[in-house]
Every structure is written in C-alpha cells, then in structure tokens.
Amino acid sequence: MKIAIIGVGLIGGSIAITLKEKKFASWVIGIDKEEQNIRKALSLGFIDESKSLEAALPEVDVLILAVPVDAICKLLPSILDNISPSQTVMDMGSTKEKLLSLIEKHENRGRFVACHPMAGTEHSGPEAAIPNLFAGKTMIYCDATNSDEDAFETAEALVDQLEMKTVFMNAKEHDVHTAYVSHISHITSFALALTVLEKEKSQGRIFELASSGFESTVRLAKSSADMWIPIFRQNRKNIMDVLEEHIHQLQNMQHLLETEDYPGIYKLIKKSNKIKRILK
C-alpha cells in the first residue's frame, strides 16, 4: 500500500515507522512545509521520498494528515475535491467539531475518516518519532458512520497495525472529552512552568530541587506552541468550561489552606484519589 503523510513530525513519523516495519506500507511519501523536516525524515529512513501534495495525491492509496488542526481545516476541503473513489483520507487532529462541520456537505465526505490517536510525547519534529508510540493506546474514530464502508475498513486495517484500542464518538462529544483529559493538562502544565520560571528570577537555585514528581507534572510545558495554539483556538469554549472548574478547585484549595482547614484538604485529597479508577 502506498501512503502519503502530511507532517513528518512526532505523530506522522511514528506512524510511518510502524507501517514500514510491519510492511503495511510499501512506499511512504513525506510532505512537509519545512524542508529541514523532510531532510531529517529521509535521513532517518521512515519516508522513502518527498513530493508536493499535488504530485503525491493521485498516486497514493491513503493520505494521512498529521499537521496542526488549523492546517488540516485549510487542506482537507481541497484534498477531498481531488481524490478518487478508491482513496482514503485520514486525519490525526486533536479537535473535530469545526473540521467535520466544514466538510459535512462535501460530495467526497465518505472518503474521509476522522481519527485522533490519544498518544504522544512532549517532543516534536522528525527526530521525536519513535517505534511503538501507539501500541496499547486509544484511537478515537469520530462520526465514523459518515465514512464510506471501504474507506473505514482501510483506516481500521491501518490502525490495527498500530496496535491501538478503538473508541467511537461524535465530534461534539470528542471535543468535550479531550478538553477534560488532554487540553486542560497542557494549559495547567504551561501555567505551572510559568509560575516556577517566575519564581526562579528571585530564587535561582529552585531547579536544583526538581525531582521526578515535578518533571512529570510540568513536562507537557515543553510541547509545541505551533500545535497547541490551533487546538486552543478551535476548542476554546470547551476548554474555557473546563478551565473555569479547574480554577474553582484551585480556589477551594487556596481557601482551605488560608483557613487552615486540614481535615477539609484531607477529604479533597481522598476524593481526588478516586482518579485511580481511570488511571490504573
């Protein structure tokens, strides 16, 4: 199977590595606006050649969009304008409601399968791509009933090669849930990093005390702004709702500390421990 991947960074590169290792992809074409990313991907060997989107599109079986969500929104309508009934297009974006509303009436909507792999690291670029990034993680299919049966079967066969679990959601449900389990985590990490960096100005040795607990909490602050600003823009309303509740919980903690209500804090900590049901 011949595959083209737009965006040869962490997600696109890791997909390419696995599909080539499993021999699911006989040939992988890399497409990226950054020439240095293409050179690096070629040197790492997870793409076989580079072409423009216009040149690659007519000759591939599957096209995967692994770029920031605003770029996906810009590219997808024109891609659907030019694909054949035998081709499949997949995206790996972190927001879906705006994207799917954009192409809802497109005559080739059925050739598109909306996907979101709940996997990643705080690193970016081709050198961040790794084998087995997706193994055991969850792939979310959004509004899958709007995809043609054969297009979905192709996407499903590809995802099987990544060894992922699968979940089905509609676009609205997806964007709400990812705001809670992914997007708020990044905002919190960015804010914590800024808090500590501000303190470092007056307490220069603060990072000497940083241990694994701090590192695991703040590591997401290393994530790419180019990827996350479009996510925040497209999922703003849901993220604002989650952020409001998060700030409420922080204010509650602050009040309990101010009033030295340690039994109250104890109850909140014990309540928070119930997260073990989700994160085992």
- What tens digit of pLDDT does each residue of 244-259 get? 999 999 999 999 999 9
Q: What is the pLDDT of residue 219?
A: 85
CB-CB contact of 151 with 110 (8 Å):
yes
Give me 149's structure tokens.
């049966």
- Res. 215 pLDDT band, cuts 50 70 90: confident
β-sheet bridge partners, residue 39: none
Residues contacting residue 129 through CB under 8 Å, at least 6 positions apart: 8, 9, 10, 12, 13, 14, 16, 17, 41, 44, 46
The count of C-alpha atoms lying within 13 angstroms of the C-alpha of 10, restricted to the half-sphere facing its C-beta, is: 17
Label residue 218 by pLDDT band (50, 70, 90).
confident
d(CA 65, CA 109): 15
In terms of pLDDT, which residue wins out, 143 or 196? 143
Helices (H), the chain: 10-21, 35-44, 53-56, 69-82, 97-102, 149-161, 171-178, 184-200, 212-218, 225-234, 236-258, 262-272
Binned at pLDDT 50, 70 and 90, residue 8 comes out as very high
Q: Each residue of 37-54: pLDDT tens digit?
A: 999 999 999 999 999 999
Backbone torsions φ then ψ of 265, nearest 5 degrees: -65, -40
CB of 134 within 8 A of CB of 105? no
Tell me the pLDDT tens digit for each residue of 189-199.
Answer: 999 889 888 77
Average pLDDT, the chain: 93
Domain 174-277 in CATH 1.10.10.10? The answer is no
Q: Does residue 94 have a pLDDT over 60? A: yes
- Residue 192, amino acid: L
Residue type, 242: V
Q: What span, in angstroms and rounded, lies between the C-alpha atoms of 162 and 25?
A: 12
Structure tokens at 33: 């606006």
CATH code of the domain made up of 2-169: 3.40.50.720
For the entire predicted model, the pTM comes to 0.89
pLDDT given at position 276 = 78
Three-class SS state of 202:
coil
Domain ranges of the chain: 2-169, 174-277
> Of 271, 256, 278, which is closest to residue 185 (Cα–Cα)?
278
Q: For residues 58 and 84, what is the distance between their CA atoms, to the nearest angstrom?
A: 8
Predicted confidence (pLDDT) at residue 268 exceeds the cutoff of 80:
yes
Tell me if residue 134 falls in helix, strand or coil. Answer: coil
Of residues 16 and 198, the one with the higher pLDDT is: 16
**Two tokens at 225?**
């702004």
81: Cα within 13 Å, side-chain hemisphere: 7
